[in-house]
Amino acid sequence: MPVFNMAGCRTDCVEKPFSIGFQKFGRFVGRHPWWFFICPLVISTALGTGFYFLEDMEANNIEDQFTPVNGPAKLERKFVEENFPLNNSVYSNQRLYTMGEFASFIAVSRDPNIFTDGAIKEILRLDKKVREIKLSRGHEQLTYEGLCARKSNKCIPNKILDIMNHYGSNIDQTELTFPFFRFGFTTIFLGYSVGGVNVSSSVIKSAKAIRLFYCLKEGNRSTTDLWLNEFLKVFPSNQSLNFITVTHSTSLSRQVEFEANTRDVIPLFSITYVIAIVFSIVSCLRFDCVRNKVWVATFGVLSAGLAVLSAFGMMLHIGVPFVMTVANSPFLILGIGVDDMFILISCWQQTNVHARVEDRLADTYKEAAISITITTLTDVLAFYIGLMTPFRSVQSFCLYTSTAILFCFLYSITFFGAFLVLNGRRENSNKHWLTCKEVPEDCPVGRSKWYDLCCVGGAYDRHTGAEEVQPMNQFFKKHYGPFLVKPWTKVCVILLYAVYLSISIYGCFQIQEGIDLRNLAADDSYVNRYYDDEKAYFYEYGPNIMVIIRGEFAYWEEKNMLDLESCVEDFKNLSFIEKDIFTSWLKSYKYYGHHTNLNLSVENVFKTNLSSFLRSYSDFKQDVNFTNNSIRASRFFIQTVNITTALDEMNMLNNLRDTARRCSVPLLVYHPVFIYHDQYAVIVSNTVQNISVTTAVMLLISLLLIPNPLCCLWVTFSIASVIVGVTGFMALWDVNLDTISMIILVVCIGFSVDFSAHISYAFVSNKKPTANEKAVEALFHLGYPILQGALSTILGVIVLSASKNYIFRTFFKIMFLVIFFGLFHGITFIPVFLTFFDFCSSNAGNVSPQEKRALENQAMTNCQPKNIQEKAIDHDKQIYDNHTFLPDNQQLFPTQPCPSVWTLTVNTHHTQSGQMCMASTVPMFRVDSQTYEVQMYTASNDAVTVNCNQNLGSGEHHCVIGNNQPPVLQECNAPVINCSDSADPVP
């Protein structure tokens, strides 16, 4: 693979002082651990008192939280409310500017046709039970008759019941026309009452369902709520019904069921917390009773819990509304906190176990500071940018979550860091993790393996002084890392990424927009069963839309009338508009004028006769704001059809508004449901805006804190790639782009940075000479912590998949995609892509590291005495592994030129240092395991051997002289020279 070398491209002007600052802070925490351990506990307790105000701060009004603030429909509703006030004495459902107060049930026939004698009798019996509902409030008796919406001093009837009562058992033989039926002197619209119809020449041959509405008066919410709750008790089950099944709902049901969802999440969080603790303990478990990190893992999870307690309590004290979406936040915070814990533990384990605990914590903070700071800043800023969205539910979620992430970071470097120090003191005393009694480092002779496992501990790497490397870290270094950097593996990774990207882009074009309001209730809610029947049998006729003429308009002028009629035709020509269902006061007024010989093209005649016309037609009186002899506004109605999906709703709203905008007459369109449909107008633009701004901010933070500009571009690439993947696959997983998924897409950015920043920073920070070695080393140090963090986050949200609520399940689905794709980028895609560009390496010499290792291995294997035991071989390898060769320009022997001089540094406890003069830049030598002689081989068939039989702990310097000929392996019988007799030590 080609490698582009860009030495000297580090930009650590921010990163270096930041690391030093954290190092000093870590030392300070290490010296005063109890203060930093106790203070977070006290702060959390004080702030946690804010939960006392939780009930007062709950804000779960669906319209307020899940619709855009200052959305167009809210402004339109305000205009309608001001110009067309409600008249409770002349109730008209289509003229309401709200959804109204009502109860409803749908009766579905068990047979193909509901117009049978048995089904009709059961429907009439249910209707009677509803009308007979009575309840007391103090001395007041509440009945349907007293609360119902009225017209002509009568409760609004269900016309289909009048028809069934009139025809009785002969109704199945009556020719009922659909959707309009002439009943007496009136024409009844059956589109909302009869569903699942089978029609032949406009005559109903069979119908599957009947829907009844019970409308209540507006403006008396406290009493109507009592009646509506009593209504729900009428339908406990369908067991007593033989011919029909019934589903029911009220105008309150959606809101009540939505608020009930908060009870669903409380036990789930308890389960999640237990899972997080168990996973953290298991992943940090050691078979060393001293180095065991059980308590460290437990207190790491406790740190995240304290962060949630403090942040939520503080927000409740301040008065920030608590929306149900915020209940998702603790699951997320738990994952983030445990992720930071794993990074800190990983860095702690790489420090010297014999160093003072404050120095160990200082070194831990120095190494981990940038990684956890980058992830914290990116997550927090991503959520704060989410405050720009016009949805209050998103704003509340972002405020609570960003504050909790800040507390999580603060407690990680104070409370958790302090506990690392306290635990480190126990380890330094070689005390048991459970009993806190001192245990031996080595197993006494004669003791069992169980005793060795349970009562012996304190092992560490004798060469590095750090804790022993865990098996999973070794897996990343010895197996996964080398496998990943093989050329053919890289080709497979690139192909895999191409497949991933292709599927993701395809999925992005399949995305659906908007939240289905039925999803706000639990899956097993009676509301959803009602919505299912409604969608199955009453999908044909949608909302009846108001088209409003704003401001004063000269209705009597011929040109204006032509313009208005042209606009009306434009509306009727829309594919989802029923042309034959059109309600207009102006059309009726013209008909009235024609039959009364009125010249309505004259302003005075038009205005003078309008009042008498409106008195005769009380419904139309609500459609004209005729004040002070001036028409300030008026409206007509058009009927929509076949609006079944979120896409249909979005297209309907956009096309209606576009048609009104194109009209030369000042028009606006409105229906109460548009309040909820407004999300379609802003959801995509706001999501793109948030993602763009957040990505730009993430890039800036990465540029400041990651000491390599081009690596920051890889971080940005990772963000874009994960966002495309999550968006595409969530569409294929039946998740819409709505307020819930928009929140998680913002989270997606922060987590994308988490994984890519960790691995990119580790890549550019290590000193390995080649890109492949850098990638392997980065995976060695951070592959396992990243994997732990990802698994902990997934485990933190996996219980939400069992929730009965759409919001929590959606949160799980998208978080799973974010973590899975982020992890795959972090430990697969990004390491491979980074190897293509070795940004910050410098030339290590004329001989490639691969050639150097090959020659060294050859020398080690070809010059071994036959009688060396297996233990001696291992010891030789340890001595060899701990030698590093550095060029030295000093001359050991003035009388003999030495073109290549190397310094041999020995890091074991046997020798301190040594020097050798080599004929080649690649030394070839043998270390005798018993005499510790270092023998060098040259082409002249003589080798100079250093006799190392002196005092190995005295710090003597030893050297080897050779010539410039190419090295050739010889037999190990070279003469021995004591360098201490022929040369002064070289410092």
Tokens of 784: 């396992």
Is 962 contained in some domain? no
In which domain, by residue range, is 225 found?
Answer: 101-250
- Looking at residue 794, what is its pLDDT? 84
Give every CB contact of residue 472 below 8 A, 6+ residues apart in sequence.
Answer: 783, 784, 787
Tokens of 825: 């980028």
- Cα gap 294→594, rounded to integer Å: 91
Query: Do residues 736 and 512 lie in contact, with contact meaning Cβ atoms separated by under 8 Å?
Result: yes
Q: pLDDT tier at 259 (50, 70, 90 boundaries)?
A: confident
* pLDDT tens readout for residues 273-327: 788 778 888 887 777 888 888 899 889 889 999 999 999 999 999 999 998 888 8
Classify burial at 186, counting beta carbons within 10 Å of its beta carbon; exposed 0-12, middle 13-18, buried 19 or more: exposed
228/276 same-domain check? no
Range 746-760 average pLDDT: 71
Tokens of 510: 């399949």
DSSP 363-375: HHHHHHHHHHHHH
* pLDDT tens readout for residues 685-723: 888 887 788 778 777 777 776 666 766 777 778 888 888
273/382 same-domain check? yes
Q: What are phi and psi of 143, to 5 degrees?
A: -130, 165
Range 126-149 average pLDDT: 88
Sign, CA dihedral 426-429-430-434, equals negative
The residue ranking higher by pLDDT, 507 or 515, is 507
Cis peptide bond upstream of 179, omega within 30: yes
Q: Which of 625, 647, 648 is nearest to 635 (CA)?
A: 625
Sign, CA dihedral 976-982-983-984, equals positive
Query: Do residues 809 and 519 lie in contact, with contact meaning Cβ atoms separated by under 8 Å?
Result: no
Range 936-950 average pLDDT: 41
- Cα gap 186→25, rounded to integer Å: 84
Last residue of one domain, picked from the residues 452, 468, 484: 468
- Cα gap 856→843, rounded to integer Å: 19
Give every CB contact of residue 268 below 8 A, 6+ residues apart in sequence.
Answer: 799, 800, 802, 803, 808
Q: Which secondary-structure segment (H or E) carries 41?
A: helix 33-48
Query: Do residues 639 and 544 lie in contact, with contact meaning Cβ atoms separated by under 8 Å?
Result: yes
Is 896 contained in some domain? no
pLDDT at residue 973 greater than cutoff 60: no
Give the range among 22-31, 246-255, 492-501, 754-763 with minimum mean pLDDT: 754-763
* pLDDT tens readout for residues 358-368: 999 999 999 88
Last residue of one domain, picked from the residues 619, 646, 678: 678
* pLDDT tens readout for residues 633-655: 999 999 999 888 878 888 899 99
Sign, CA dihedral 930-932-933-938, equals positive
Range 215-230 average pLDDT: 87
Range 819-836 average pLDDT: 88
Q: Could you tell me the pTM of the whole model?
A: 0.73
168/291 same-domain check? no
Range 184-208 average pLDDT: 90
Q: 219: phi > 0 → left, psi -120 to 50 → alpha, else beta; which? A: left
- Looking at residue 948, what is its pLDDT? 39
- Cα gap 691→185, rounded to integer Å: 60
Range 583-590 average pLDDT: 92
DSSP 182-238: EETTEEEE-TTTEES-EEETTEEEE-SEEEEEEEE-TT-HHHHHHHHHHHHTT-S-S
Give the range among 392-401, 443-452, 559-568, 659-668 with minimum mean pLDDT: 443-452
CA atoms lying within 13 Å on the CB side of residue 527: 21
Is 18 contained in some domain? no
Number of domains in the chain: 3
Tell me, what amino acid is at 561?
A: M
Q: pLDDT tier at 956 (50, 70, 90 boundaries)?
A: very low
- Looking at residue 28, what is its pLDDT? 95
* Residue spans of beta strands (DSSP E) within 551-614: 577-584
3-state DSSP: the chain helix, strand, coil percent, rounded to 5?
Answer: 55, 15, 30
**Cα dist from 403 to 174, 311, 329, 414, 818, whole Å:** 67, 6, 11, 17, 21
Tell me, what amino acid is at 987?
A: P
pLDDT at residue 2 greater than cutoff 60: no
The residue ranking higher by pLDDT, 471 or 597, is 597
396/540 same-domain check? no
220/299 same-domain check? no
Is 598 contained in some domain? yes
Kindly report the number of other CB atoms within 10 A of residue 851's CB atom: 12
* pLDDT tens readout for residues 895-935: 444 443 333 433 333 433 334 433 333 444 444 444 444 44
How far separated are the first and last CA of the chain, in Å rounded?
41
pLDDT at residue 856 greater than cutoff 90: no
Q: Which of 753, 759, 891 is nearest to 830 (CA)?
A: 759
pLDDT at residue 950 greater than cutoff 80: no
336/428 same-domain check? yes
Give every CB contact of residue 980 below 8 A, 6+ residues apart in sequence.
Answer: 950, 956, 957, 958
- Looking at residue 750, what is its pLDDT? 66
Range 421-446 average pLDDT: 83
Q: Which of 319, 260, 313, 388 is nearest to 743 (CA)?
A: 388
DSSP 801-830: GG-SSHHHHHHHHHHHHHHHHHHHIIIIIH
406/552 same-domain check? no
- Looking at residue 38, what is its pLDDT? 96
Q: pLDDT tier at 131 (50, 70, 90 boundaries)?
A: very high
Q: pLDDT tier at 959 (50, 70, 90 boundaries)?
A: very low
Q: Which of 774, 826, 719, 887 is nearest to 5 (CA)?
A: 774
Range 32-50 average pLDDT: 95
- Chain centre distance of CA 143: 48
Tokens of 945: 């051997």
295/185 same-domain check? no
Last residue of one domain, picked from the residues 615, 650, 678: 678
pLDDT at residue 960 greater than cutoff 50: no
The residue ranking higher by pLDDT, 168 or 298, is 298
Query: Do residues 307 and 411 lie in contact, with contact meaning Cβ atoms separated by under 8 Å?
Result: yes
341/445 same-domain check? yes
pLDDT at residue 123 greater than cutoff 90: yes
- Looking at residue 12, what is its pLDDT? 61
- Looking at residue 987, what is its pLDDT? 34
DSSP-derived letter for residue 551 is S
* Residue spans of beta strands (DSSP E) within 529-666: 541-550, 577-584, 624-627, 630-641
Average pLDDT, the chain: 79
CATH code of the domain containing 370 = 1.20.1640.10
| Three-class DSSP category at 565 | helix
Is 775 contained in some domain? no
Range 133-153 average pLDDT: 86
Q: What is the bridge-based pairing of β-strands 194-195 and 913-918?
A: unpaired
Residues 166-175 as b or e (16 or more Cβ within 10 Å = b): ebeeebeeee
214/321 same-domain check? no
290/322 same-domain check? yes
Query: Do residues 336 and 788 lie in contact, with contact meaning Cβ atoms separated by under 8 Å?
Result: no
Is 757 contained in some domain? no
- Cα gap 181→203, rounded to integer Å: 9
Is 631 contained in some domain? yes
pLDDT at residue 983 greater than cutoff 80: no
Query: Do residues 786 and 758 lie in contact, with contact meaning Cβ atoms separated by under 8 Å?
Result: yes
Locus of tokens 């995976």: 779
Report the DSSP beta bridge partners of residue 638: 545, 582
- Looking at residue 970, what is its pLDDT? 38
Q: What is the bridge-based pairing of β-strands 624-627 and 630-641?
A: antiparallel
Query: Do residues 365 and 22 lie in contact, with contact meaning Cβ atoms separated by under 8 Å?
Result: yes
Q: Which secondary-structure segment (H or E) carries 945?
A: strand 945-946
Is 343 contained in some domain? yes
* pLDDT tens readout for residues 83-115: 998 887 888 888 999 988 999 999 999 999 999
586/461 same-domain check? no
- Chain centre distance of CA 539: 34
Give every CB contact of residue 509 below 8 A, 6+ residues apart in sequence.
Answer: none
